[in-house]
Amino acid sequence: MISYWEKTQLLHYDLVVLGGGITGIFCALHFRKNNPTASIAILERGLFSSGASTKNAGFACFGSLSELIEDESELGEEKLLSIIKMRLDGLSMLRETVGDHKMDLKWDGGYELFFDKNPKKLNQIGHLNSILKPFFPKDVFTINNKKIKKFGFNTDMVNHLVQNSFEGQLNTGKLMRVLRTKLNKEDITFFSNTELTDFESKSNKNQLLISLKNQKFNLTCNKLAICNNAFANQILPNFNIVPGRGLIILTKPFSKLNIKGSFHYDRGFYYFRNIENRILFGGGRNLDFKKEETIEFGINKKIKNKLITDLDKFIIPKHKIDIDMEWSGIMAFGKSKIPIIKKESNSVAVGIKSSGMGVAIGSYVGKSVADILLD
């Protein structure tokens, strides 16, 4: 049952954005910047930004050494540099929009752990530093084995540590609170717990009809931006998005913790950081790829046990480990790590598949989708 007020003021929008995460919010904000009088609504399937935007590890990164080496072998140098530029541009946009201090952005550095005594990937540090020179004032990657002992790692297992001085960490919760406040200031409507099930063109008008789950009414809009990452498969199966669930565990505080910064190993499949005197540790989906190709939130016990084992064996071997919290987020992957930014029609554009780099690249993808619809 719809009232006159709802029908005339709340059911039609110039732009509807599907997905209330970083990508969707930046799409809406950029559209507003270039169209001050437009009516804009964001449809978010969860109470919060439910995919990964409020469930990630809070890394301000563009790729670890082993990740980038592997990506270059698959994509080639030109495409790799294109993706890196997208991520760096996205991080710059995030910092400009939110402000470093408002999201607790700290440049404590990034590190990658290597366990072999003579890993071949270390031989490619010079090459990567060379191709990254246009983006940075000095070499990105350096070997810093002195910090293995300083951080308290098991020196019998961790043989090399590669440092990235241009990597940081941030508070994802504060970041999203700032972005939600900006939406309110820009008069952009945010619908929580609202799931689009289908959309179609209205035959008699230049509009789209949007069907909503568990609602007896529809919305209409002139433009639609699909920015819901892994959940896009449900309405656009032709893009062949592969969802990837990521597990995160958080320890209780330690009385003393030497680890400070952001850390990776095994081609970025594992990652951890400090939150004050706690360790946040995530990843491991490569242990059970098929089971983790899901949009259902949950805890994979096999992966959780592996994370706890690694904490005990070589990350914090001298500490008693007590897990305080655990959660999962849903990411989107595909045949390559290049995001999908595409015009579907004159009124529909798509920006999805952040490949686990949504914090870095989401703002860039969102702006790009808005530019398509503004054109």
In angstroms, the CA 192 to CA 45 distance is: 6
Establish if 47 belongs to a structural domain: yes
Q: pLDDT at position 216, please? A: 86
Contact 179, 22 (CB under 8 A): yes
10 shares its domain with 119: no
Domain-located, residue 8? yes
Report the range of poorest mean pLDDT among 51-60, 233-242, 270-279, 349-358.
233-242
Residue 202: which pLDDT band, with cuts at 50, 70 and 90?
Answer: confident
CATH number for the domain that contains residue 130: 3.30.9.10
DSSP for 172-207, please give it.
Answer: HHHHHHHHHHHHHHTT-EEESS--EEEEEE-TTSS-
11 inside domain: yes
Instruction: Answer whether residue 219 shows pLDDT above 70.
Output: yes
User: What 3-state DSSP class applies to 162?
Assistant: strand
Cβ atoms of residues 340 and 39 within 8 Å:
no
Judge if 164 and 248 occupy the same domain.
yes
Least confident of 125-139, 202-216, 268-282: 202-216
pLDDT (0 to 100) of residue 1 = 83
What token pair was written down for 68?
């980038």
Percentage of the chain exceeding pLDDT 70: 99
Same domain, 352 and 307: no
Q: Tokens 């402000």 sit at which residue? A: 99
Residue 206: the pLDDT is 79
Residues 189 and 235 in one domain: yes
Q: Give CA–CA dist 179/17, Å, rounded.
A: 15
CA distance 248 to 223: 36
Amino acid at the residue 123: N
Residue 319, domain member (yes or no): yes
Name the band, by pLDDT with cuts 50, 70 and 90, for residue 204.
Answer: low
For residue 290, CA distances in Å to 184, 287, 294, 300 come to 40, 9, 8, 12
Domain CATH number, residue 200: 3.50.50.60
DSSP string, 96-123: HHH-TGGGT-B---EEEEE-SSS-GGGG
302 in the same domain as 329:
yes
Considering the domain architecture, whether residues 142 and 246 belong to the same structural domain is answered as: yes
Asked if 370 and 260 sit in the same domain, the reply is no
In a domain, 210, yes or no: yes
Q: Does the pLDDT at position 201 exceed 90? A: no
Rounded to the nearest integer, the mean pLDDT of the chain is: 96
The verdict on residue 82 lying in a domain is no
- Do 225 and 328 lie in a common domain? no
Query: What are the backbone angles phi and psi of residue 351, rounded to the nearest 5°?
Result: -140, 95
Are 268 and 232 within 8 A, CB to CB?
Answer: no
Binning pLDDT at 50, 70 and 90, where does residue 203 land?
low
Range with lowest mean pLDDT among 43-57, 76-90, 144-158: 43-57
Residue 199 belongs to what H/E stretch?
strand 196-201
Lookup result for tokens 């987020």: 329
Helices and strands (DSSP H and E) totals, the chain: 10, 18
pLDDT in the model for residue 205:
67
Its domain, for residue 226, covers 4-54+174-239+336-374
Q: What is the rounded CA–CA span in Å between residue 283 and residue 270? A: 5
What is the pLDDT, as a whole number, of residue 77? 98
Structure token pair of residue 43:
């449809």
In a domain, 81, yes or no: no
Whether residues 23 and 157 share a domain: the answer is: no
The tokens for 254 are 């330690």
Q: Are residues 209 and 294 in the same domain?
A: no
Residue type, 289: F
If asked whether residues 271 and 348 sit together in one domain, one would say no
Render pLDDT for 256-303 as a digit per residue (tens, 0 to 9).
999 999 999 999 999 999 999 999 999 999 999 999 999 999 999 999
Number of domains in the chain: 2
Task: Give the span between the Cα atoms of 303 and 309, in whole angstroms.
Answer: 10
The per-residue pLDDT for 21 is: 98
For the cut 80, the answer to whether the pLDDT of residue 44 exceeds it is: yes
The two tokens of residue 290 are 């098929």
* Residue 152 covered by a domain: yes
Of 249, 28, 80, 65, which is closest to residue 144 (Cα–Cα)? 65
Burial class (CB in 10 A: 0-12, 13-18, 19+), 137: exposed
Q: Say if residue 182 is in the same domain as residue 312.
A: no
